[in-house]
Amino acid sequence: MGNWTNGGFSNTGGMFAFCKNNWDCEGVYVCISMMCSCPSKTIYTGFGCQSDRDSGIQCSSTLDCNYYNNTQCIIDRNGTSTCACPHAFQKFDTASGCRERERFDACDMDTDCKPPTTCQDMGSGRMMCMDDNYMNNTALATWRPPLVRAKF
């Protein structure tokens, strides 16, 4: 994720490195807006990317997760058990536990979003839950009529 060279730190494709495409980024990082970042529906913890469904609290059974609303003890692909939201359309919120993804939340597909929102490409690889009404109003608010020059 970077190394020390010539007395300074050189980022070699890790988090925040400049990139042109996903091949320029290391590990799980993806190229978004020309910067290596965590993929959609993950957050950067300072050590790497973590699913936004995950509380980060280790557990041995769902009983350990009772304090974190609606979470369950889930084993990830590395064999680590943590209290996490059981459904893809949910994300973990420290104040309320598991909640449904709403407008402006990251997504990969429509089923990640709470209806009536759908997963929309916001440009530069960013996918967010958005509703058509918001998108239409934003487009109307930024639209300007073409300049018509009067002929004299």
**Residue 149 falls inside a structural domain:** no
**Residue 7 falls inside a structural domain:** no
**What pLDDT is recorded for position 151?**
53
Count of domains for the chain: 3
If asked whether residues 62 and 46 sit together in one domain, one would say no
CA-nearest of 99, 92, 106 to 40 is 106
**What pLDDT is recorded for position 27?**
85
For every one of its 152 residues, what pLDDT tens digit does the chain have, with 9 covering 90 and above? 343 343 333 445 688 888 888 898 888 888 888 888 888 888 888 888 888 888 888 999 989 998 878 899 998 777 889 999 998 889 998 888 899 888 889 888 898 988 889 999 887 678 899 987 766 555 444 444 444 454 54
**Residue 148 falls inside a structural domain:** no
**Residue 65 falls inside a structural domain:** yes
Residue 81 pairs in a beta bridge with: 75
If asked whether residues 56 and 95 sit together in one domain, one would say yes
CB 73 within 8 A of CB 83: yes
**What pLDDT is recorded for position 84?**
92
**Residue 3 falls inside a structural domain:** no
If asked whether residues 56 and 46 sit together in one domain, one would say no
- The Cα–Cα gap between 100 and 122 comes to 20
**What pLDDT is recorded for position 15?**
83
**What pLDDT is recorded for position 141?**
46
If asked whether residues 85 and 110 sit together in one domain, one would say no
Domain coverage including residue 38: 12-51
**Residue 1 falls inside a structural domain:** no
CB 115 within 8 A of CB 47: no
**Residue 150 falls inside a structural domain:** no
**What pLDDT is recorded for position 41?**
86
Instruction: Give how far the C-alpha of residue 78 lies from the chain's centroid of Cα atoms, to the nearest Å.
Output: 20
**Residue 2 falls inside a structural domain:** no
If asked whether residues 114 and 137 sit together in one domain, one would say yes
